[in-house]
Amino acid sequence: MSFNIEALRSQFPILSRKVNGQPLIYFDNGATAQKPQVMIDALNNYYSFQNANIHRGVHSLSQEATTAFEAARMKAQAYFNAAKSEEIIFTKGTTDSINLLAGSFGRTFLNEGDEVIISTMEHHSNIVPWQMICDERKAKLRIAPINEKGELLLDELKEMVNKKTKLISIVHISNALGTINPIQEIIDFAHAHDVLVAVDGAQSVPHMKIDVQAWDCDFFVFSAHKMFGPTGIGMLYGKEHLLNKMPPYQGGGDMIKTVTFEKTTYNELPHKFEAGTPNIAAGVALSATFDFLNELDWEAIHQHETELLAYATAELKKIEGLRIIGEAANKASVISFLVDGTHPFDVGVILDQMGIAVRTGHHCTQPLMDWFKIPGTIRASFAIYNTKEEVDKMIVALNRTIKMLR
Amino acid sequence: MTIKERQDEIIDEFSIFSDWMDKYEYIISLGKELPIIDESKKTEDNIIKGCQSQVWLDGQLVDGKIVFTADSDAIITKGIIALLIRVVSDQTPDEILNNELYFIDQIGLKEHLSPTRSNGLVSMVKKMKLFALGYKAKTEN
């Protein structure tokens, strides 16, 4: 199948709208990706014709809603190649998944003096939950360093691993730099030293298909909205034997087997970790999103995005005084940059006037920005539907912006 | 001139701009011209950290009126600060407390004063009022 960008774009209604009188150029995919019609239709259809609470009703509508919601779990299992559907825990998103993991795993596996390793390039959501639990358990949080290109220093990470190390929680693709970390090598090394690995896949899922069993990762987290799905739902994948050892994170409905005022017994996986009514509509829409993703030619997308990244990088570098932050050899289609004599905020405001959506600021990675000694960057993050023509328009707009600001 | 008159004057000025570029070029030029706050006033107390840009604001009571000086690391933020200072500075605490700022809305820069912009401007306006409250309390005691 050849890669037909126009056919792909036509599935995303928002891409044909205007912003500030200009055709929208959406380069803020790292924050959230746009939505295909099939996902929007599923969401609409659910509330129009399927709405009922799940897992507990005997009536037909509830059964139907349950089936539609649980289909998302089956599809997630197949899509990420998990061994069992019970290993798929639905959460609110990446942040919620990591909080669940840190809270539940931490209270079970972390003891005084134990160590957890993260890296310098983590998003706040893969820093703060670990700081909180390490504080509580008197464990130590260690930070694997990077080099000036924004690449993880793998040898130094390996040297940090010792008998006290319980877990490495690491980002697959950096949201601020685009760096793709060598996850397979990290997992292989960690497992050889009896250390578990959690992978933050928030930025990976829109760019590639992940196979959790091929990696053999112990935990994997992502948010659906970053891979063209709905907001408010995400996933924590965990190996069954580990999830079984972890206590529930929140109490409430759906997560119990029996409740008396004296003692409550908990439900089985995955429901043990899914207290309360979940985001059913988002689950159903996520199910439709998997259908959309399954139709994609990921090899063609990889080629398209690689070309787009190389093209945009080369064009940006032609601009005088422009500095790219994050020049890892292995990068996803994310470009952070700064322009001498301008502030990222100002550049973002002016580009927005021309219909171009980029992200500016610290990207929820303050320690990383501190490491580079910069307040923030301008970030253009591309997705499957972006084009070279859009990059050209951004370059023209950027040159105009710089002329105005300097 | 009262706060109201100053606001109406700015609204009048902005009415001549036919497109966004003229408007932003003007704001940028205001930002570049803004008298910089004295370095000694760039204290931890006077800083307002927005997610996107930061603002320093100082207010001094001179002859019963508050004189504001400010700065920002972003030039557009600075340009809007220049407008705010033009309206609010050199006015009595009472005037500052009793007047609504409506001109930002009218000149089409509302989104810059939205809490979600996180450029420090919303907090800056709040802080201007706090200065006024503080000096009012001081002068009345």
Q: What is the per-residue pLDDT across B18-41, written as a single tens digit (0 to 9) for each?
A: 899 999 999 999 999 987 788 898
Cα gap A202→A236, rounded to integer Å: 11
Radius of gyration for chain A, computed over Cα atoms and rounded to the nearest angstrom: 22
Domain edges within chain B: 3-140
Residue B11 bears catalytic tag: no
A5-27+297-401 to CATH, choices 3.90.650.10, 3.90.1150.10, 3.40.1390.10, 3.30.365.10 = 3.90.1150.10
Shortest CA distance from A345: residue in chain B: B52
Q: Give yes or no for a contact between A349 and A266, defined as CB atoms under 8 angstroms apart.
A: no
Could you give the maximum distance between any two Cα atoms of chain B, in Å? Answer: 50
Instruction: Spell out the per-residue pLDDT of chain A, length 406, in tens.
Output: 457 999 999 999 999 999 999 999 999 999 999 999 999 999 999 999 999 999 888 899 999 999 999 999 999 999 999 999 999 999 999 999 999 999 999 999 999 999 999 999 999 999 999 999 999 999 999 999 999 999 999 999 999 999 999 999 999 999 999 999 999 999 999 999 999 999 999 999 999 999 999 999 999 999 999 999 999 999 999 999 999 999 999 988 888 888 989 888 999 999 999 999 999 999 999 999 999 999 999 999 999 999 999 999 999 999 999 999 999 999 999 999 999 999 999 999 999 999 999 999 999 999 999 999 998 999 999 999 999 999 999 999 999 999 999 8
> Amino acid letter at A40?
I
Burial classification of residue A9, based on how many CB atoms lie within 10 Å of its CB (0-12 exposed, 13-18 middle, 19 or more buried): middle
Contact A87, A243 (CB under 8 A): yes
Rg (CA), chain B: 15
Q: Does domain B3-140 correspond to CATH entry 3.30.1120.130?
A: no
The pLDDT, as a whole number, for residue B118 is 64
B58 token code pair: 């100082």
Q: What is the dihedral of CA B85, B89, B94, B97, to 10 degrees?
A: 10
List of chain A residues whose C-beta atoms are within 8 Å of the C-beta of residue B77 = 345-346
User: B44-100 pLDDT, tens per residue?
Assistant: 888 887 778 888 999 999 999 999 999 999 999 999 999 999 999 999 999 999 999
Considering the domain A40-295 in this protein, what is its CATH number?
Answer: 3.40.640.10
Chain B residues within 8 A of A375 when measuring between CB atoms: 73
Query: Choosing from B51, B97, B130, B133, which is the catalytic residue?
Result: B51
From the candidates A346, A347, A352, A353, which should be mutated to test the interface with B, based on the most B CB atoms within 10 A? Answer: A346
Q: Which residues of A touch B (CB under 8 A)?
A: 20, 342-346, 348-350, 353, 360-362, 375-376, 404-405
pLDDT given for residue B139 in this prediction: 82
CB contact under 8 A, A345 and B52: yes
What share of residues in chain A are helix, strand, coil (percent, to 5)?
Answer: 45, 20, 35
Sequence letter at residue A300: A
**Whether B51 and A361 lie within 8 Å, measured CB to CB:** yes
Contact A349 B24 (CB under 8 A): yes
Minimal C-alpha gap between A187 and chain B (Å): 35
Give me the residue label for tokens 């090394």: A189
Structure tokens at A270: 């995955």
Q: Which two tokens stand for residue A46?
A: 């659910």
Q: Number of A to B CB contacts under 8 A, please give it.
A: 40
In chain A, which residues have their Cβ closer than 8 Å to the Cβ of B25? 404
Please check whether residue A79 is in contact with residue A293, taking contact to mean a CB–CB distance below 8 angstroms.
yes
Query: Any long-range contacts for B121-126 (C-beta under 8 Å, 24+ apart)?
Result: B121/B50, B121/B55, B121/B77, B121/B80, B121/B81, B121/B84, B123/B48, B123/B50, B123/B55, B124/B48, B124/B55, B124/B57, B124/B70, B124/B81, B124/B84, B125/B84, B125/B101
Q: Determine which of A22, A349, A354 to mutate to test the interface with B (most B C-beta atoms within 10 Å).
A: A349
For chain B, give percent helix, strand, coil, nearest 5.
55, 15, 30
Confidence (pLDDT) at A1: 44
pTM exceeds cut of 0.80: yes
User: What pairing do the DSSP bridges indicate for beta strands A25-26 and A115-119?
Assistant: unpaired
B74 to chain A nearest CA, in Å? Answer: 5
Cβ–Cβ gap A343/B119 under 8 Å? no
Q: How many CB atoms lie within 10 A of CB B54?
A: 18
Considering only the beta carbons, identify the residue of B20, B74, B112 that sits closest to A343. Answer: B74
**Residues of chain B positioned with their CB less than 8 A from the CB of A345:** 52-53, 74, 76-77, 119
- Reduced to 3 states (helix: H, G, I; strand: E, B; else coil), residue A91 is strand
The dihedral formed by the CA atoms of A22, A25, A27 and A29, expressed in degrees to the nearest 10: 110
Closest residue to A404, CB basis, from B28, B73, B77? B28
